[in-house]
Amino acid sequence: MSTNRVLVFDMDGVLADVRESYREGIVRTVRHFSGQTVTRERIQNYKNQGGWNNDWALSQQICRDFGVEADYGEISRYFLDIFLGSEGLIQREEWIPRDGLLERLAQRFRLAIFTGRLRIELGPTLKRWVPQIHFDPVITTEDVTHGKPHPEGLNTIAKLCPGCEFWYVGDTVDDARSAKAAGVPFIGIAPPAHAHFLHAQGAIAVLDDVNAIEGVLP
Q: Are residues 198 and 127 in the same domain?
A: yes
Final residue before a domain boundary, out of 73, 91, 109 = 91
* Number of domains comprising the chain: 2
pLDDT single digits (tens) 131-141: 999 999 999 99
Q: Inform me whether the pLDDT recorded for 168 exceeds 70.
A: yes
Whether residue 153 is found in the same domain as residue 138: yes
Q: Per-residue pLDDT for 172 more than 60?
A: yes
Whether residue 123 sits in one domain with residue 47: no
Global pTM value: 0.92
Domain final residue pick, 91, 117, 135: 91
Same domain for 107 and 157, yes or no, is yes
pLDDT digits (tens, 9 = 90+) for 18-69: 999 999 999 999 999 999 999 999 999 999 999 998 999 999 999 999 999 9
> Residue 101 is part of a domain; what is its CATH number?
3.40.50.1000
Please give the average per-residue pLDDT across 66-93, as a whole number. 96
111 and 161 part of one domain:
yes
- The secondary structure of 17-78 as a DSSP string is E-TTTHHHHHHHHHHHHHS----HHHHHHHHHHSS---HHHHHHHHHHHTT----HHHHHHH
CB-count exposure of residue 41 (10 Å: 0-12, 13-18, 19+):
exposed
Same domain, yes or no, for 196 and 140?
A: yes
Whole-number Å distance between alpha carbons of 202 and 200:
6
The residue among 126 and 2 whose pLDDT is bigger is 126
| Domain that includes residue 51, residue range | 22-91
Residues 103 and 193 in one domain: yes
- When pLDDT is averaged across residues 68-80 and rounded to a whole number, the result is 97
Percent of the chain at pLDDT > 70 equals: 99
Report the chain's C-alpha Rg in angstroms. Answer: 17
Question: Residue 87: phi, psi to the nearest 5?
Answer: -100, -20
pLDDT band at 2 (very low <50, low <70, confident <90, very high): low
What percent of the chain is modeled with pLDDT above 90? 97
Question: What is the band of 218 on the pLDDT scale with cuts at 50, 70, 90?
Answer: confident
Q: Does residue 210 sit in the same domain as residue 106? A: yes
CA 61/CA 67 separation, integer angstroms: 10
Domain boundary among the residues 91, 117, 132 is at 91
| Residue 151 binned pLDDT confidence (cut-offs 50, 70, 90) | very high
C-alpha to C-alpha distance for 74 and 152, rounded to whole angstroms: 27
State residue 156's pLDDT score. 97
**Vertex 118: Cα angle to 54 and 146 (nearest 5):** 55
d(CA 147, CA 145): 7
Same domain, 119 and 206: yes
Q: What is the pLDDT of residues 173-210, one digit of tens each?
A: 999 999 999 999 999 999 999 999 999 999 999 999 99
- Asked if 71 and 155 sit in the same domain, the reply is no
Q: Quick one: 192 and 145 in the same domain?
A: yes
Shared domain check, 139 and 74: no
**pLDDT, average across residues 63-78:** 98
For residue 1, name the pLDDT band (cuts at 50, 70, 90): low
